[in-house]
Amino acid sequence: MSVLLATEHLTMRFGGVVAVDDVSLSIEERELRCLIGPNGAGKSTFFRCLTGQYRPSAGRILWRGEDITGLEPHQIARRGIGIKTQVPSLFDGLTALEGVVLALRRQHREREARRRALAVLERLGIAELAHRPVGLLAHGQRQLVELATVVAPAPDLIILDEPTAGMSAEETAGTAALIRDMNRDHAIVVVEHDMQFIRAIARKVTVFHQGRVLVEDSAEAVLADPRVHDVYLGRPPEARQAVPA
Amino acid sequence: MPGEGPGRASANGRAAFEAALGLLAAGIAAWWLPQMLELFSIINATVYTAMAVLALSLALVWGFGGILCFGQAAFFGLGGYAYAVAALNLPDTTYAVPIAILVPSLAAAALGYVMFFGRISDVYMGVITLTVTLILFNFVNSTAGEEWRIGAAPLGGFNGIPTTPPLNLPGDPGTPLAPEQIFVLAVLCLGLCYALCKLVLRSRFGRVVVAIRENELRAALLGYDVRLYKLGIFTIGGAMAGLAGLLFANCVFVSPTMFSLAYSGQIIIWVMVGGIGTLLGPVIGAMLLQALTAWVGTLPEINPNLILGLVLLVAVLAIPRGLQPTVAGWLRRRLPEDAA
Ligand SMILES: Nc1ncnc2c1ncn2[C@@H]1O[C@H](COP(=O)(O)OP(=O)(O)OP(=O)(O)O)[C@@H](O)[C@H]1O
Ligand SMILES: [Mg+2]
C-alpha cells in the first residue's frame, strides 16, 4: 500500500514546552488509525501542525510525497485533509444545512451540494436538525453536525479529534458505524479515549506520550502493553479499566 | 424582512424578491418626493440618501464581513475627491463616475491586502483604518496652497473644492443635472446598492463571507482562502462608500471633513443603531439619526452633542440588537401566523 501522509521528525515547541517531539509517523491510503495518549500528550497539537494551523518548529510533512510543511490551512484542506477539531468548530450563526452545503460548495454546484448535504445529515441521523441554527444545539448534536461538515466533501484523509465526546451511547455507536463505513474509501485518523470504541474500529494504534510516539502496534498488542498501562494511570476510570491490568 | 411572501419560497427567490422590493421603494421615493419637497429639503434628502449608501457600505463590511472598519469615511472622502478632481478635468462629468468608484475601490483593495494578507489582528485593523483616515484628513487639510492642484482642480485645503461641477446629462456636458434629478439619482443608487448587497449575500461568495464571520478557522479548514474573501467584501464596501462620496459631492461639495473621524464614528453608530447584520436597519438608522441631528441643531440653548449622546445611550440600552431585529421580532410576535 502507498503512503498517504508522512511526518518526518515533526517538532512543535512553545517556548520551553515541546508539545510534539520528533514525531515520524506515516498513514497509508485508506488506513484506519487510532491515536491515543493521556491529556497533554500532544495529539491535538500534532493535528494542528498537519492542518496548517501551526507552523512546525522543525521537521517535514509529506502528502503523497509532496512537502506541504508551512502551507496555509486552506491549501492543505484543498489537497484533501479534513479535520473535526477537539472543541467543535462550527458556523454557529448558520443552520446545520447551510454549513454542510458550504463545505460541499467548493466542489459542487448549489443544487448538487444541497442534495449531498441533506444525504449526509440523513446518514448521521440528524436530518431533523437541518434548519436549526448550530449555535442552539446540544453538545453531542454539535459534534454530529461538525462530523457531517467534515465528511461531506469526502476528503482523502479525515482527522477526528475525540469525535464522540459528549455523545450519547446511541450517537457513539452511530459514529463508530459511520467511521467504518467512511473507511472503505478514506483514510481516517481518530483520537479516542474510549477503549471499547478503539477495539471496535481500529487495526493499528499509535500511543502518544509527552509529545513522542511511545508505541505503535495492533490494537490488541497496544492495549496489553504495560507501558501504555503506566502512561494511562491517573486517567479517568473508563480509560484505566479498559487497559488490562 | 418582516411579512415576506410564501413561506417555502426558495432563499434565492426571496433575496431576489427583497432586492426588487428595495428597488421598487426607491423608485416610488424618487418619483414622489421631488414633487412634495422644496429645494432646500430636496438637497437635504439627497445628503441623507448619500449617507444611507455610506451606512450600507459599512453594514456589509462590518455586519456581514465581521470587519470593524473605523475608516469607512476615508473611502467616502476618496470617492468625493476623485469625482471632484475628475469632473473639473474632464469635459463630460459622466466619465468622473467610474473614476470616483474605482479610486476608493483600489484604495480599499490595497489597504485590505496589507491587512488581510499581513495577518494583522482585529484590534490593529481598527488602528490601521483609523490611522489611514487621520493621515488622509491631515493631508487634504494641508493642500491649501496654489501648488496643490491636479490639472484644473485645486485641492483647496480646508476649504475643499466648492467649484465642483455637478453631473451632467450623460453625453450632454452643457446640461447639468438639477437638484431634483440628483436626488432621484441618489435614491436609485441607494436602491441599487441595497439590491446588490442582497444578491451578494445570497451568492456563494457572500455566504462564505458570512461563514468566515461566524468561524474563520472552520472556513479555512474547509479550503476557503479567508484572506481573499475578506479582501473582496472590503473592496466592495470601499466602492460603495466611494459612490456615497460621489453623491455627496453632487449635493454639497467636497471638503476634508469627509475624511474626519467624526464621520467614521457616525457611520459606525448608524449601523449599530440600525442593527449589526442587517441592511435595512442601517439605512433607516442613518436617515433617522441625521434627521435627529438636524433637528437638535435647531434647538436653542441646548448642546446638541449632549442630546445626541443621550439618545444614543438610550438606544443602545433599550434596543441593544438594533432597530431592524427589534422591529422584526416585535412584528413576528404580533403576527404569529407569519412565523414559519
Ligand atoms: N498554543 C500553545 N501554547 C503553549 N502551549 C501549548 C499550546 N498548545 C498546546 N500546548 C501544550 O502542548 C501540550 C500538548 O497539548 P495538546 O492539546 O496537543 O495535548 P492532547 O494530547 O491533545 O491532550 P488532550 O487529550 O487533553 O486533548 C500541552 O502541554 C499543552 O499545554
Ligand atoms: Mg487534544
Q: What is the pLDDT of residues B117-160, one digit of tens each?
A: 998 888 888 899 999 999 999 898 888 877 888 877 788 788 88
Mean pLDDT of A23-44: 93
Answer whether A77 sits within 8 Å of B222, measured CB to CB. yes
- A84 vs A185: which has the higher pLDDT: A84
Neighboring chain A residues of B210 at a CB cutoff of 8 Å: 93-94
Q: What is the DSSP letter of B254?
A: B
| Closest alpha carbon to A76 in A61, A88, A91, A57 | A61
pTM to 2 decimals? Answer: 0.89
pLDDT over 90, % of chain B: 47
What residue has cell string 456581514? B64
How many C-beta neighbours within 10 Å does residue B328 have? 18
Q: How far apart are CA A162 and CA A141, in angstroms?
A: 14
CA distance, residue B42 to nearest chain A CA (Å): 41
Mean model confidence pLDDT for chain B: 87
Tell me if A215 sits within 8 A of A169, measured CB to CB.
no
H, E, C per residue of B83-97: HHHHHHHCCCHHHHH
Cα dist. A148→A41, A168, B204 in Å? 27, 17, 19
DSSP 8-class letter at A183: T
Are B195 and B21 spatial neighbours (Cβ–Cβ below 8 Å)?
no
Contact predicate B242/B104, CB 8 Å: yes
Q: Please, are residues B249 and B185 in contact by the beta-carbon 8 Å criterion?
A: no
Residue range A18-30: mean pLDDT, rounded: 94
Domain with CATH 3.40.50.300 in chain A: 3-80+156-242
| Contact between residue B212 and residue B58 where contact means Cβ atoms under 8 Å apart | no
Tell me if B288 is assigned to some domain. Answer: no
Name residues whose C-beta falls within 8 Å of residue B178's C-beta, 6 or more positions apart in sequence.
Answer: none
Domain for residue B138, yes or no?
yes
Question: Which three three-digit cell numbers place residue A124?
Answer: 448521521
Which residue is closest in CA terms to ligand 1's atom 9? A45
Residue to mutate, A10, A45, A238, ligand 1, most ligand atoms under 8 Å from C-beta: A45
The answer to whether position B247 is within a domain reads yes
Nearest to A4 by CA among A182, A154, A187: A187
Residue found under cell 469526502? A154
For the CA of A193, the nearest atom of ligand 1: 25
Label the pairing between strands A157-161 and A187-191: parallel
Average pLDDT over residues B326-336: 81
Assign 3-state DSSP to chain B and report helix, strand, coil percentages, each to 5.
75, 5, 20
B171 touches chain A (CB under 8 A): no
Between helix B39-58 and helix B261-274 the angle, nearest 10°, is 80
Full residue range of the structural domain in which residue B34 is found: 14-158+173-258
What percent of chain A is modeled with pLDDT above 70? 94
Number of domains in chain B: 1
Query: For residue B11, what pLDDT band results from cuts at 50, 70 and 90?
Result: low
pLDDT of B22 > 50? The answer is yes
CA B324 vs. chain centroid, Å, equals 17
- Percent of all residues in chain A with a pLDDT value above 90, rounded to a whole number: 69
| Residues of A whose CB is below 8 A from B321 | none
Pocket of ligand 1 (CB under 6 A): A 14, 17, 19, 37, 39-45, 86
What value does the mean pLDDT take over residues B242-264? 91
Residues of chain A found within 8 Å of residue B224, distances taken between Cβ atoms: 74, 106
Question: Cβ–Cβ of A106/B226 closer than 8 Å?
Answer: no
Query: Is B295 inside any structural domain?
Result: no
CATH number for the domain whose boundaries are A3-80+156-242: 3.40.50.300
Q: What are phi and psi for residue A115, nearest 5 degrees?
A: -60, -50
Beta bridge partners of residue A11, listed in sequence order: A58
Å from B8 to nearest chain A CA? 13
Nearest residue, CB atoms, A74 vs list B211, B214, B220: B220
Average pLDDT over residues A211-240: 77
Interface test with A, best of B222, B224, B227 (most A CBs within 10 A): B222
Indicate whether B332 pLDDT > 90.
no
Rounded distance, CA B111 to CA B105, Å? Answer: 10
Question: Could you give the CA distance from residue A49 to residue B245 in angstroms, rounded to a whole number?
Answer: 46
Task: Report which of residues B16 and A21 the model is more confident about.
Answer: A21
Residue A36 pairs in a beta bridge with A207
Mean pLDDT of all residues in B317-331: 85
At residue B317, the pLDDT reads 86
Predicted pLDDT of residue B151: 79
Establish if B249 belongs to a structural domain: yes
CA–CA–CA angle A75, A78, A79 (5° rounding): 95
Whether residues A74 and B204 touch (CB distance < 8 A) is answered with: no
In a domain, residue B70? The reply is: yes
Distances, alpha carbon B238 to alpha carbons A58, A65, B82, B90, B243, in Å: 41, 43, 13, 23, 9
Q: Please indicate whether, in this complex, the C-beta atoms of A102 and B207 are within 8 angstroms of each other.
A: yes
Q: Which residue has the higher pLDDT, B258 or B312?
A: B258
